Amino acid sequence: MSNPFGGLEPKLVWKWFEALTKVPRPSGSEQKAIEFFQGFAAAQGFAVKTDKVGNVLVSVPGSKGREKDPVLVLQGHMDMVGEKNEDVKNDFSCDPIQVWRDGDWLKAKGTTLGADNGIGLALGMALATDPDVSRPPLELLCTVDEERGLAGAFNLEPGFVTGRRMINIDSEEEGTVFVGCAGGGDTECRFPLKLGRLPDKWTGVKVKVFGLAGGHSGLNIIENRANALKLLAALLLDACPTEPFSLCSFGGGDKHNAIPREATALLAGPADLTDRIRAAADRLRPGLLSEYGKTDPKLDVQVAAAGVTDGLSFDDSVRFLSFVLALPHGVDAMSRDIPGLVETSTNLAKVAWGDEAALVHNSSRSSVASALTRMRGRVAAAGRLVHADVRQLAGYPGWQPNMDSALLARAREVYQATTGKTAKVTAIHAGLECGIIGEKYPGMDMISIGPDMHGVHSPDERLSIPSTERFYEFLKTLLARI
């Protein structure tokens, strides 16, 4: 099998990215990545320090004649979202990513690629080691646990970072400079389960909604992609509006920042239950494909016999499914200032069914603090209506745009000079670490940029090879001129 990185330019960027694809680094298990960056620094003779949570800072001297220039921080996160197709056997805690090349794109075989944010880190490493780069002193800030809630950034301490201008390389659209981001916060509803023994003659049924596109709950929420949890709840309520049945389990989704691609339920009921559910699936499928055909063309429903012994009462079954269906999900408001930008949204992210309770997790975002509080309040109110125990997790701040930023002005100037095009300046409906870092280190002048990639947080993730090459040349010129 040929090496997918063979012959790619610039060599240093792909050298470091290939190395990172071999380093297991799912969120919460970044120790091998921490050791990788510590080893990188030692091998290059760079100073390195690691804080109590695992954030790594590599200090790179400026090139000749620029040793005393103001420090520039290049920032990215070490962890990656570990999502895989159901038929793929991959343990993200120990297995490397299997990369393949599809024309101008790099992809992974049935899993996330980890270009979010591996390519940002690789670009920083290349800028630090490329002898042809004119650079100021650099601080490569490599944070942990970004994907699960920005924990690495939250735990940065005063003095760990000394630079006061920063390029976050964790964006996914070449030619776009991000200068603001949404804040966010998660809400967890614990729905008590009172499971009882099922009638002896009842039959068990397994229902699965699958084949959805999923994707990032901030970046892709505007596309109105289908949510597997919502579709499954709607299907079951349609199939069993009044007839006796018992919900024995219900679950789906995995990450708080990913739109659920699959959801599965176990039910029990009289002998005709399977036929009722199949009939409902057949009745609803054409409408669903018409509604979601462009965003989720592979959407499908599977119904099969299953063995079950315990389940909820009919009333509790309907109450739980109605709760899932009633929870807000999707875009709530668009920005009044930036056309096409989502202001407020929420994602019904996952349901985990246990012996005593079902945990229903919802992740909300907004660039307006009061709107975020109100959205989280709506989720909490829905939980309280069904007597769930509601817990609101710590939120994170947004990043207010500074259109007078000196770093932004230089980035726009360099992009125009190197491409002949005008850079798009906007904000992003996602939680970047910039919001927290800016709060931790007042006065930080920041932008967020990156090469083209699509499908992040899903097995469809892909990274543009030519965009990465162009983006590196842009970064080299930008570093030379700041």
List pLDDT tens digits, range 8-65: 999 999 999 999 999 999 999 999 999 999 999 999 999 999 999 999 999 999 999 9
Joined tokens for residue 296? 């989720």
What average pLDDT score do residues 176-187 get? 94
Checking if the pLDDT of 149 tops 90, the result is: no
Provide, rounded to the nearest whole percent, the portion of the chain with pLDDT above 90: 91
> Out of 18, 30, 79, 145, which one is annotated catalytic?
79
- Contacts of residue 214, defined as CB under 8 A and 6 or more positions apart, other chains included, come to 83, 225, 258, 259, 260, 261, 457, 458
At 26 the pLDDT is 97
Checking if the pLDDT of 441 tops 90, the result is: yes
At 241 the pLDDT is 80
At 337 the pLDDT is 80
At 2 the pLDDT is 85
The reply to whether omega before 442 is within 30° of 0 (cis) is: no
Residue 395 vs residue 475, higher pLDDT: 475
- 330-334 and 300-306 as β-strands: parallel, antiparallel, unpaired? unpaired
Checking if the pLDDT of 432 tops 90, the result is: no
> Out of 30, 83, 145, 146, which one is annotated catalytic?
146
105-109, 121-125, 182-186, range with the lowest pLDDT: 182-186
What average pLDDT score do residues 446-457 get? 96
List pLDDT tens digits, range 64-115: 999 999 999 999 999 999 999 989 999 999 999 999 999 999 999 999 999 9
Q: Which domains does the chain have, with CATH numbers?
A: 11-182+398-481 (3.40.630.10), 185-392 (3.30.70.360)
Mean pLDDT of the chain: 96
At 148 the pLDDT is 86
At 86 the pLDDT is 85
- For the entire predicted model, the pTM comes to 0.72
Active site residue 332: no
∠ CA 415-416-422, nearest 5°, is 95
Active site residue 79: yes
Checking if the pLDDT of 367 tops 70, the result is: yes
Distance from C-alpha of 265 to C-alpha of 117, rounded to nearest angstrom: 34
Checking if the pLDDT of 1 tops 70, the result is: no
